[in-house]
């Protein structure tokens, strides 16, 4: 198989002995992006506009802080992100302040007369708008966006290599399957990048190896639980000593388990 710059990360990940090569790819991207955001990205005007608008998810705020690599840089990012979000919330509030007062007076009078209506008020509409905005902010993350964009390109590369390079196809099928999160990503990629015939071939082969490996790891974690029975004290662990950790990651993808 001929290596090219864009195939090297993919083949490196698939040459790793693990439960999910895509988790290896994603973790590497995550580490690189955490470092990048606290470095060059911090000083790029477009980068700061992005972080001001989107911020980060809980996981990536934790990673950015826990690196302790550039606390000043992270402080600057958080400062301008909060300025933008505070201004937006304040403006929304100021725009609706009079209407809130009006609705509160009307509701009070109607309540006294026993005629309080459940009809949608401007206040309720405003609350819905705020909830929508806060939900969007909660689910937005500069790092997640960058990772997802690059992972989509990797999926394209994986599917291309699968049908064009027999060596890679053999490597693909020699692995231990994927976590359920990345199984979904591969299925989405098949719909996006493959024609109907290729989709059928790929999905058939993918699910065959996935089912086999899910059964394997379930048996390993089952033996892990049975080793706590005193009657199995002297029985060998086999591959089950770390089966609990690997089975959790098989279900949800990479996570920091200690």
Q: What pLDDT score does 148 carry? A: 95
Domain C-terminal end among 118, 139, 164 = 164
Residue range of the domain that includes 119: 1-164
Same domain, 232 and 104: no
For residues 12 and 124, membership in a common domain is answered with: yes
Q: Confirm whether 96 is domain-assigned.
A: yes
Question: In terms of domains, do 180 and 251 share one?
Answer: yes
Nearest to 155 by CA among 251, 25, 52, 250: 25
Q: According to the model, what pLDDT value does residue 96 have?
A: 83
pTM of the model: 0.84
Q: Is the pLDDT of residue 142 over 70?
A: yes
Same domain, 115 and 146: yes
Whether 247 is in a domain gets the answer yes
**Strand boundaries in the chain, DSSP class E:** none
Give the Cα separation of 44 and 50 in Å (integer). 10
**150 and 183 belong to one structural domain:** no
pLDDT in tens, 9-46: 999 999 999 999 999 999 999 999 999 999 988 888 89
207 inside domain:
yes
**Residues 160 and 188 reside in one and the same domain:** no
User: Does 61 fall in a domain?
Assistant: yes
Residues 110 and 7 in one domain: yes
Number of structural domains in the chain: 2
CB atoms within 10 A of CB 179: 24
Max CA pair span of the chain = 81
In a domain, 171, yes or no: no
Give the pLDDT of residue 1: 56
> Which of 164, 189, 213 is where one domain is finished?
164
Give the model's pLDDT for residue 180.
Answer: 97
Q: What is the pLDDT of residue 38?
A: 92
Q: Compute the distance between CA of residue 250 and CA of residue 165 in angstroms, rounded to an integer.
A: 27
The answer to whether 150 and 187 have CB atoms below 8 angstroms apart is no
pLDDT of residue 75: 94
212, two tokens: 């086999």
Q: How sure is the predictor about 112, in pLDDT bands with cuts at 50, 70 and 90? A: very low
The mean-pLDDT minimum among 28-42, 52-66, 110-124, 243-257 falls in: 110-124
Tell me, yes or no, whether 8 and 118 share the same domain.
Answer: yes
**What mean pLDDT, rounded, does the chain reach?**
90
| pLDDT class of 104 with cuts at 50, 70, 90 | confident
Q: Which two three-digit tokens encode residue 152?
A: 């989509």
């Amino acid at each position: 198989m001929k290596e090219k710059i864009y195939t090297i990360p993919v083949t490196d990940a698939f040459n790793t002995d693990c439960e999910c090569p895509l988790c290896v790819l994603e973790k590497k991207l995550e580490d690189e992006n955490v470092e990048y955001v606290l470095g060059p990205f911090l000083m790029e005007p477009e980068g700061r506009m992005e972080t001001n608008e989107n911020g980060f998810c809980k996981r990536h705020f934790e990673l950015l802080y826990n690196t302790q690599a550039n606390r000043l840089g992270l402080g600057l990012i958080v400062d301008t992100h909060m300025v933008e979000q505070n201004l937006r919330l304040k403006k929304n509030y100021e725009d609706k302040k009079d209407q809130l007062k009006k609705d509160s007076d009307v509701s009070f009078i109607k309540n006294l007369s026993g005629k309080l209506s459940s009809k949608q008020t401007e206040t309720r509409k405003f609350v819905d708008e705020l909830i929508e905005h806060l939900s969007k902010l909660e689910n937005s993350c500069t790092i997640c966006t960058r990772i997802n964009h690059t992972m989509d390109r990797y999926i394209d590369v994986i599917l291309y290599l699968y049908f064009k390079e027999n060596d890679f196809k053999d490597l693909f099928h020699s692995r231990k399957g994927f976590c359920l999160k990345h199984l979904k990503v591969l299925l989405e990629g098949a719909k996006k990048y493959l024609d109907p015939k290729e989709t059928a071939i790929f999905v058939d082969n993918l699910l065959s190896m996935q089912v086999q490996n899910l059964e394997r790891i379930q048996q390993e974690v089952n033996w892990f639980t049975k080793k706590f029975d005193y009657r199995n004290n002297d029985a060998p662990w086999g591959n089950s000593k770390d089966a609990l950790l690997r089975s959790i990651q098989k279900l949800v993808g990479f996570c920091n388990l200690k």
